Amino acid sequence: MILNNQFFNNFHPLPPKKEHEHSNVKSQSHSIQRRRLPPRRPQHRPSSSRNSPVTTRESVPLILWALSFISLAYANGNSSSCRCQPHQSCWPSAPEWGALNSSINGHLVAVRPVAAVCHEGNPDNPACKENWEALPEKNQTCYIETTPDTPCGQGQVSLYSALVQSAVDIQETVKFAKQHNLRLVVKNSGHDFLGRASAPGSLQILTIGMKDIRIVDKFTPAGAPEGKNEGSAVTTAAGVSLQELYAAVAARNRTVVAGSSHIVGAAGGYIQGGGHSPLGPWKGMASDNALEFTIVSANGELLVANEYQNKDLFWALRGGGGGTFGVVVSVTLRTFDEVPVILSNLNITAPVRDNKFWDTVTKLHASLPALNDAGGAGYYWIIPDFQLTKNTSVSAITLIFIFPNQTDTTQIDRIHDPLISTLNSTTGVNTQYASFAIPSLGFLFNILHPGNSDSTGKIGFLGSRLFSRDLLASTDGPGKLTSALRSIHIDPGQAILGHVVAGGAVAANSGKIDSALNPAWRKALTHIVIPRGWEPTATLAEQEAVKRNLTDVEVPILRSVEGEDTMGAYSNEANPYEAGFQASFWGENYGRLYDIKKKWDPEGLFVVRRGVGSEEWDDEWGICRVGK
């Protein structure tokens, strides 16, 4: 293979940054690992049409092998139908990259997989233990657990990242990507299960450095009539994490509707995908509470989207998916008075994989409508085979619910009593239950998520489905759901995860909020997730088998419970290979979303896996248009 000499440019201004190989799995350490390289003496190479190029120790040689598969895959691509790749003459020159670097105040860096410290040179074991990677792209892997002499491929990790600090930085980067026909990706926290924040041979916009938070008592959207205000609100920049947001509003005795993970970005794909929350039944989806977005469009223009201007963008940004319509600079959210909350915890054990256990699963799901009607929301873990001791395994269920704006634990206990009494009367089934009065939601979040990191890094992806309240409230619905779950193999120690984050205000907002949110959310009561993964030593064939089984067998089982077209899935926590994603993720809203996408991004600068308009691009990387 012969690479164009343009590839061997002087990237001295671009120090390598350690990054995740696949953005659907997160780093346990949230900080960016990078180091600046000392300048090196230029190395002479055969002359070409350009000046004698030079390399640095890391920014070029380490990615040559990683990019070879891209070169072969797209050797016959042309600039009109494919994004420009490093082996092609269209790739930006060193002066052009340098100009971009200067325009964003020196914040352009070269990127390496975060696990590279475990494989290259003298492996840095402490740094190696801090982070995790997963989901290789073809034969490109970089796992921490493999031996240090195993090659570390670039995989899906972007080649360069613009560590943007302002809207102007974003505008400059977007314009550069458009001018040079580059594959562009947008990353907030990287907490993404579908691999949408990375792509091979791409330029990344990383917004994690944008940390501004502004809280006002009376927020007036841009363009609103004089005297109009939406009450208390917080405007959060693109890089603010949920932990940072919760802390900021709690200091003002306020709260917001957001998720339950530390590292998720408040303004990124979370809210743009809809944003489920344990506060959803109380105040609606996170996107229901978005009042305004500032966004950089595909042509580099800075826009405001709300109910009074760019209304179509405002509609699309509330549920239409992240990284699709532009780069969000900030979002303004309603805030609410801080309130007390009741926390309840129910633990259930039964004989391992016994009929009594699956009967318990049915009874649990049948009890959810009553718990939800009482204001309850939360999560439950169904573990068919849990090792209790060295020689003892049981089946287990753990249920953690919250009841916002409640202070009387006796009342909450009474709501749980029917389920607990029924289970306690069943031989072999044991329960442990407790409830606690918590002074505030902010206090609760600090209890549930201490520290500043989430242990979410692992090799895995998800299959999921939304299930309706009508199903769980029906006579035979809970049993049908249990039969489906029972037919899906769950390895020892693995769990089926349920999210009771709908109903209540989420359902009530059906006639009040007009947004791109999947209409299935308005009917849903629980969002059930099946996690899947493999060992670092798994062969490509073994990995493919896991993927195919989830896509072709297990997710269809979940779909069959209520019928193919009745409900849907949550686009932020779903199978990266979801069949019929348009209907599954957005239902009847997809046609309108597609039209808005074509209006604001006609050339498809923003492409994400299983995103609006992505069907027009190759399924793996979004680099070449399909059929052109």
Where residue 500 sits, what CATH number does that domain have?
A: 3.40.462.20
User: What residue spans of 425-533 are helical by DSSP H?
Assistant: 441-448, 469-473, 477-486, 505-508, 520-523
Residue 12 has pLDDT above 50, yes or no: no
CA 188 from centroid of its chain's CA atoms:
9
The answer to whether the beta carbons of residues 609 and 195 sit under 8 Å apart is yes
Residue 59 has pLDDT above 60, yes or no: no
Same domain, 134 and 238: no
Q: What is the pTM of this model?
A: 0.84
Residue 480 lies in a domain: yes
Query: Minimum mean pLDDT among 53-62, 389-398, 450-459, 474-483: which range?
Result: 53-62
Q: Does 153 or 550 have the greater pLDDT score?
A: 550
**CATH number of the domain to which 179 belongs:** 3.30.43.10
Residue 594 lies in a domain: no
For range 429-444, the mean pLDDT? 96
Same domain, 493 and 413: yes
Domain boundary residue, one of 338, 356, 387:
338
Helix (H) or strand (E) holding 97: helix 94-103
**CATH number of the domain to which 265 belongs:** 3.30.465.10
Q: What percentage of residues in the chain have a pLDDT greater than 90?
A: 67
For range 473-498, the mean pLDDT? 96
Residue 161 lies in a domain: yes
Integer-rounded Cα radius of gyration of the chain: 25
Residue 608 lies in a domain: no
Q: Does 557 or 77 have the greater pLDDT score?
A: 557
Query: Residue 492: CB partners within 8 Å, gap ≥ 6?
Result: 385, 386, 387, 393
Same domain, 227 and 351: no
Average pLDDT across the chain, whole number? 83
Residue 615 lies in a domain: no
pLDDT of residue 111: 82
Q: Summarize the chain as % helix, strand, coil (round to 5).
A: 30, 20, 50
pLDDT of residue 33: 38
For range 310-325, the mean pLDDT? 98
Cβ neighbours, 10 Å, residue 16: 23
pLDDT of residue 346: 98
pLDDT in tens, 553-567: 999 999 999 998 899
Same domain, 240 and 364: no
Query: Residue 404: CB partners within 8 Å, gap ≥ 6?
Result: 279, 282, 339, 341, 375, 377, 441
pLDDT of residue 627: 63
Same domain, 52 and 116: yes
Report the C-alpha gap between 222 and 220 in whole angstroms: 6
CA 122 from centroid of its chain's CA atoms:
33
pLDDT in tens, 197-247: 888 889 999 999 999 999 999 999 999 999 999 999 999 999 999 999 999
Q: Does 382 or 150 have the greater pLDDT score?
A: 382
Written as six digits, the tokens of 103 are 């325009």
Q: How many domains does the chain fold into?
A: 3
Q: What residues form DSSP beta bridges with 206?
A: 163, 187
pLDDT of residue 113: 54
The answer to whether the beta carbons of residues 442 and 246 sit under 8 Å apart is yes
For range 26-47, the mean pLDDT? 34
Domain boundary residue, one of 320, 338, 356:
338
| Cα–Cα–Cα angle for 198, 313, 216, rounded to 5 degrees | 95
| Inter-CA distances, 211 with 26, 56, 236, 244, 267, Å | 20, 32, 7, 9, 11
Residue 396 lies in a domain: yes
pLDDT of residue 80: 59
Same domain, 457 and 436: yes
Domain boundary residue, one of 314, 338, 362:
338
Same domain, 372 and 302: no
Same domain, 374 and 520: yes
pLDDT of residue 499: 98
pLDDT of residue 135: 42
Same domain, 267 and 407: no
Cβ neighbours, 10 Å, residue 387: 13
Same domain, 386 and 534: yes
Domain residues for 129? 5-206
pLDDT of residue 112: 57
Same domain, 552 and 566: yes
Residue 66 has pLDDT above 60, yes or no: no
Q: Quick one: pLDDT band at residue 536, thresholds 50, 70, 90?
A: confident
| Inter-CA distances, 22 with 84, 190, 318, Å | 21, 9, 25
Residue 551 has pLDDT above 70, yes or no: yes
Residue 617 lies in a domain: no
pLDDT in tens, 239-295: 999 999 999 999 999 999 999 887 889 999 999 999 999 999 999 999 999 999 999
Query: Minimum mean pLDDT among 58-72, 155-169, 507-521: which range?
Result: 58-72
Same domain, 118 and 161: yes
Q: Quick one: pLDDT band at residue 162, thresholds 50, 70, 90?
A: very high
pLDDT of residue 458: 59
Residue 596 lies in a domain: no
